[in-house]
Every structure is written in C-alpha cells, then in structure tokens.
Structure 1
Amino acid sequence: MSIQKIAQLAGVSVATVSRVLNNSETVKEKNRERVLKAIKESNYQPNLLARQLRTARSSMILVMVSNIANPFCAEVVKGIEEAAEKNDYRILLCHSGSDIGRSKSGLRLLAGKMVDGIITMDAFANLPELTTVIGDAPWVQCAEYADAGEVSCVGINDIDAAEHAVGYLAAMGRQRIALINHDLRYKYAFLREQGYKLVLQKQKLESSAIEYANDLSAAAGKAAMKNLLAMNPRPDAVFAVSDSLAAGAMRAIEQAGLRVPEDIAVVGFDGTELAEMVSPQLTTVQQPSREIGAKAVELLLNKIENPDVPMERVMLDWRFIPRASA
C-alpha cells in the first residue's frame, strides 16, 4: 500500500497524507480523520527507508546486552522495547557477552548510520574502550553506570540495596553470612560486595566466605554453594547477587539434606519471576527492571533530539521483598 493509494482512499492529496504522517498542525481535522481512517482500514505501514532518507534517521536503536539469558537483562530489554515502540522506534539486539570485540562488531551499525543511538549493558570495565569507539554518538549506559563522565546512565544504588539485604540476615541472628558473587569487572558485582562487607564490619561479623560464580546461571550458583557447604563451619546464611545464583544455591542446600531457611537462609537480588517460582519462595531485592529500560530510552531519545543536552545519572528506587527463604 502506497501513500498515493491512501490519498485516493481518503479523497485528499498526497501532500495532505504526508502532513498527517508527520503530525503537521496545518491539516484540517476532517481531512486528518479521513486519512487516519484510510490508514487503519488498509493496514498501511510507512516506508521506513523513505522516512530514513527524508529525516536522515533510521528510527532504530542498538541495544547491546552482556547476557540475554539473565532474566534481569531480559526484563530490561522488554522495558526498552516497549518504550521504543511507543516512540516509533525499533531495537536491534546485540548479545555482546561483555566481549569488547563483539561489542565493536555491533557498533559498526552506528558508523553505517543504521541506528540512531545505543543503549549498552556491558561490563563497567569495558566503558573506557566503548567510549573511544562510540565517541559523541547518542549513548546511554543501562544498569552498569559510571560515577563521572559524559555518558548518561540509569540504575539503582547497589550498595544500599546490598546493605539492606545483608542487614536483614544479620538482624535475624545469622552469624556466618556468605556471599555468592559474579565477575568483579561488573560494577554491580563490586558494589554489592562492598555493601555486603560494610554490614559485616558494622555488625562485627566475620565473613563466612565469598564464592565467585563463573556466570549468572543456577548451575553456577549450585556449584558455588557446594563449595560453601564444604566449609567447617558452614554458613548459616547466603546472599547471592542474582536470583539465578540464589536458586542454584537453594538446590545445592536441598540436595545436601539441609533446609532453607532453617539451616541456611538465602537472599537473592533482581526480583525476577524466578524468585516466586522456587520453593520456598525467594527473599530478594527487586530492581525496577522495565522502568530502567524505559528510562534509558527516554534519556537516549532526548540525546538524539538534543545532542548538547548534559549527561544525566538517574538512580531509581529498589524494593526489598521478604519471602520464605529468609
């Protein structure tokens, strides 16, 4: 269906249809209604290539995700996609695995003008090199964020959230609180460990142990928990930096013939759907994952429309959800 056909169905000129598609205020309301009705009845889709040539924009956003298998990342991407579509944008998803080589490969789309801007969820350690590659193109860093610099970012206060979670375990009388963490190249991992250690210092508790999982899967959490269970004395509580790791830890505890939370309390992080699927249901810190994604789109589109807008660092609220695991 062409714009000429829409004009014919609506009984107006091609110029009038074009003005309606571009939200021009000069169109008479009666003609606007006729054009919109014709568009709806014919299921007309604007020619994206023609729009790109006319506006010098692609209406595409590149989203670089470090681990799409992580339920939290998947929820953030849903938030990004929903917000993008509301603004007539589409997303291209690149699973970088926090590998800088794969990230650079995806960023070639920017050089080719195939995307108007970028949202990244790469490891904090990669930001300096990404900054060099991306330059002054519209860019927002999502979940992982910088404390300073020219890159707008959105996330939560990981230290405060981790402190609250570990403090909750300490307030329950748990004395040997272990940590299952991930890769410290990620800023969230570093900050959540920092929050964990702050509570131990304040409560004058000795660190039971810290295990570093090789990825953010339940299998990795299970393997880390097995190492903790081999300790003497073993932990009486575990804080895991993701719900997936916590779910794996609970499985290892169960297989060892122990009970959650009677023998070992478990707290996770992210507040994904998984937390309600495990048994007992998981106590966790809930991140506003879809809101994080939507805010990242808002920041990016503002940068696309206003290249000189100053950098923004947005910290959203998190929520602690106590359940049966602790």
Structure 2
Amino acid sequence: MAAGGYAGVREGVGTIAGNRKVGIKDVARVAQVANSTVSHVLNGTASISPEVRARVLDAATELGYLAERKVKATISALRTVLLAVNDDALPENETNLFSWTVLNALSRDCERRGVRLAPFAAAGNLSAEQVLAAASEVSADGVIIVNDDNRDLLNGIRAGGIPAVLINGEDQGMQVDSVTPGNRFAAQLATSWLISHGHRKILHITWAGRTTIHRRLDGFQDAFRASGLPLSDAPVLRVGGYEPRFGEEAIRQWLAEHGGMDGVTALFCASDNLAFGAIRGLVAAGLKVPDDVSVMGFDGVALGELVMPPLSTVKVPLEQMGPAALNLLEQRILSADSDRAAHRLELGCSIIERSSVANLP
C-alpha cells in the first residue's frame, strides 16, 4: 500500500458480496468519504487534500475500481513522479529548446492531472543509486528519465522495482518503457524529401550521441538505399556535440578538407541546433542558403522559424512526449504485473517546409 494510504482498505475489500461490479459508493464507503469526494478525486474536478486523495486512490485501487476505469484519461493513479534529468536539460536557452519544450509540456500535464512532479537534476550522468534514493525520499510512485539511456542506469532502475519511463531514449535491453520520436523513419522521410527536390549528394552532420541519434543516421542511409543511390554520395561528418558552434565547426572542417562543398548540395543535420550553426558557417564562408547549399534540421524547435532563412526541419511532437510518458507510467502501475513487457512508444514526425531548402533542376 502506498505511503499515507488508509489501513482499512483491505478489510473493506472483503465486505463486498459476491462478484458484483464495484462502484463509487463502495470506494466511498471503504475510504470513509462522501460519494462526491470520490468523484472529485477521480475526475480532478475539485481540490482535495493529499491525505483524502490518497485514501480514495488506495481504496479504488484495492477494490479494482481504478483498473476498470483506467481507459478514462481523467483518472490518474499517480500522486508523485520523480523527474530525473541532467542539470543541463532544465534551463531555457538557445541550445536547450528541445528538452525545455518537452519538460514544460510534461509539467503542464502533471498540473492538469493533479500529479506532483519532483525534479531531480544531476551534474553529469545520472546513476541508478541517485535516482532510486531521490525517488524514495519523495515517496514517488514512478520515475520519468529524460534523455539518458545509459544501460547501467536503466538496468539499475529496473532492478530497483520502481515503475519508470524513459523520454527521448531507447532501452536496448527492452526492460524499461520508453517514449521517443520515430527517429529512423523520420530521418528517412526527411532525406527522401531532399532527394525528391533533386539533391543527390547530401552531407549528414551528426554527433556521437544517444541511440536515438544513431537512428537518425540509420534513416538517412535508408533513404539512399531505397532510392537506389550510392552511399558514397551520403557522407557523414561527426562533430563534438549538438550545440550550434559544432555546426559551424563542421562547415569549416568540410570546406578545409575538400576545398569547397565537393558536390554536396544539401545538409541534413541531426538537430536544429547543428543546422543553425551550419547556416552561420556557410554564410561566413560566402555561401548562400539555399541558393548554394540547402539545409535541413531535425527537432522542430520554435527558433527554426526565426532564423534567416527559416529552417526546413523534421517536426518532433515535443509537447506530446511528456503526457505519453505519464500514460505509460500509469498503465504500468495499474497493471500491477511484474511480467508486463516493456513498451516502446514511437511518435510520428512530419516535415516542416521552409525556405532553407531549394529545388535543384
């Protein structure tokens, strides 16, 4: 039973005769509250004290009422969720719009559902010991991890027994639920779109990031294979990170090593940040975007429509990732099944067409 729960719940379960359907009245009787209070708690229609809310949720869970109604999005079995992130994911700045947008939407959805979101930010890489200790300290029902798909971290959290969902990462061992953009398919879609605009030699600028970033490289190469184009015309340039300065460095490096663009007519960058930097690098080198070189990004952050020229990019459903993670976490808790297979939810992406990409004859 959850901390702060009502000790009489299990005793009350046995008093329901036969196998008749459990209703709000049963929950109210076991939790020793009014029927209207149960309705308010389950539907989020009034402010209820944490102690009373806990009693109602414990009663509804033990009686099986919550599981019967779990398909209704207005019900939340979550009270406190630990948000585990690296400290560089929290501030809002030019290089952090992806994570900031995801976390902002997650925070709003928690507020709507009456769920307390307890942030835990670590300097550097997260560790399972840190996360589990922080979750215990705030009596968290579950954990949401953002961006960090380190195997040791995920295996440790799985072994700790607390429900967890990973946002924007992949658990290669498929032990932890996850929500991520459909990176590989979206990258193939974007590259095929560039090819359909006449581009035949496309440079992919990326970095040695998480598995999700590797999927974007896979999709880039998939598009060349599907179009019957040689991978020799799909060069890959790996840089030191995803910040715009690395995009600028990539252009300087390519131009210096090849004496020009060497036939490349388009860039497909693994993030919008790299694309922003690449545009600056091209302009500094006296090249025009898109007249000389087209540029395509990936993420769909708001800044993309403000740069010059406005950036064509892959739109990731950033504001849907947090709510989707909460849904997965709730389903995991309501199932109460230790053998439930991990779920990997991939969200569809789309192309935003702006003026940084030109048609070739």
Same fold, judged at TM 0.5 (above): yes
Task: Give the direction of change, closer, same or farther, for the CA distance of 1:265–1:312 in structure 2 (3 Å limit).
Answer: same
Instruction: Report the equivalent of 2:190.
Output: 165
Moved more, 55-64 or 166-175: 55-64
Say which of 48, 52, 60 aligns to 2:80.
60
Cα distance between partner residues in 1 of 2:240 and 2:166: 23
- TM-score if structure 2 supplies the norm length? 0.71
Alpha-carbon shift at residue 130 of structure 1 (Å): 2.4
**Partner deviation per Cα, 1:142-163 (whole Å, 9 max, x = no partner):** 1212366231111222111111
TM superposition shift of 1:260: 0.5
Q: C-alpha separation between the residues in 2 aligned to 1:183 and 1:307?
A: 37
Quick check: 1:232 aligned with 2:259? yes
- Judge conservation of contact 2:154–2:171 (CA < 8 Å) in 1: no
Q: Partner residue of 2:212?
A: 188
Where do residues 142-291 of structure 1 align in structure 2 (5 Å cutoff)? 142-146=167-171, 149-184=174-209, 186-201=210-225, 202-207=228-233, 209-230=235-256, 231-234=258-261, 235-291=264-320
Deviation at 1:94, TM superposition (A): 3.3
Three-state SS of the structure 2 residue aligned to 1:206 is: helix
Distance 1:187 1:106 in 2: 21
- Are positions 1:26 and 2:26 aligned together? no
The counterpart of 2:352, out of the listed 310, 316, 321, is 321
Alignment correspondent of 2:106: 80
Please list the CA deviations of residues 147-196 of structure 1 after superposition, one character each: whole Å capped at 9, or x if unmatched.
66231111222111111111222222223311111224x01111111111
Task: Go from structure 1 to structure 2 and tell me whether the alpha carbon gap of 1:262 and 1:27 turns closer, same or farther (over 3 Å shift).
Answer: closer
- Mapped to 1, the partners of 2:220 and 2:145 lie a distance apart of 27
Equivalent residues of 1:98, 1:122 under 8 A apart: no
CA contact (8 A) 1:123 1:187 kept: no
- The corresponding residue for 2:143 is 118
The whole-number CA distance in structure 2 between the counterparts of 1:49 and 1:216 is: 45
**Distance in 2 separating the partners of 1:54 and 1:215:** 48
SS state of the match for residue 153, structure 1? strand
Does the aligned pair in 1 maintain the 2:129–2:156 contact within 8 Å? no
RMSD, matched Cα:
3.2
TM-score of the superposed pair, with normalisation by structure 1: 0.78
* Runs of 5+ unmatched residues, structure 1: 1-18, 34-39
- 1:260–1:97: structure 2 CA closer, same or farther, 3 Å change rule? farther
Distance 1:275 1:296, change over 3 A: same
Quote how far apart the aligned CAs of 1:233 are: 4.5
3-state SS of 2:313 partner: strand
Structure 2 residues without counterparts, runs of 5 or longer: 1-27, 41-45, 59-76, 90-94
Aligned amino acid, residue 81 of structure 2: I
Contact 1:209 1:228 in 2 (8 A): no
CA spacing shift, 1:163–1:273, aligned 2, 3 Å: same
CA contact (8 A) 1:170 1:203 kept: no
* SS across alignment from 2:329: helix
Return the alpha-carbon distance in structure 2 between the equivalents of residues 49 and 25 of structure 1.
15
Could you tell me which amino acid in structure 2 is paired with residue 174 of structure 1? H
Matched residues in 2 for 1:109 and 1:177: separation? Answer: 45
Other structure's SS at 1:160 match:
helix
Instruction: Give the Cα–Cα distance (whole angstroms) in 1 for the partners of residues 83 and 197 of structure 2.
Output: 41
1:43-89: per-residue Cα shift (whole Å, max 9, x none)? x883x589779979993212223551521111111221122112211
Contact preservation (8 Å) 2:254, 2:260: no
Relative to structure 1, is the Cα distance of residues 147 and 132 closer, same or farther in structure 2, using a 3 angstrom cutoff? closer
- The residue identity in structure 2 corresponding to 1:225 is I
CA–CA separation in structure 1 for the residues paired with 2:354 and 2:242: 22
Other structure's SS at 1:169 match: helix
Structure 2: distance between partners of 1:99 and 1:294: 24
Instruction: Work out the CA distance in 2 between the residues paired with 1:27 and 1:167.
Output: 56
Residue 202 of structure 2 contacts residue 268 of structure 2 at CA under 8 Å; is this kept in 1? yes
Distance change in 2, residues 1:96/1:171 (3 Å): farther
2: CA distance, partners of 1:117 / 1:24 = 27
Q: Give the secondary-structure state (helix, strand or coil) at the position aligned to 1:192.
A: helix
Distance 2:37 2:344 in 1: 42
Counterpart of 1:77, as a letter, is L
SS at match of 1:269: coil
Counterpart Cα distance in 1 of 2:253 and 2:208: 17
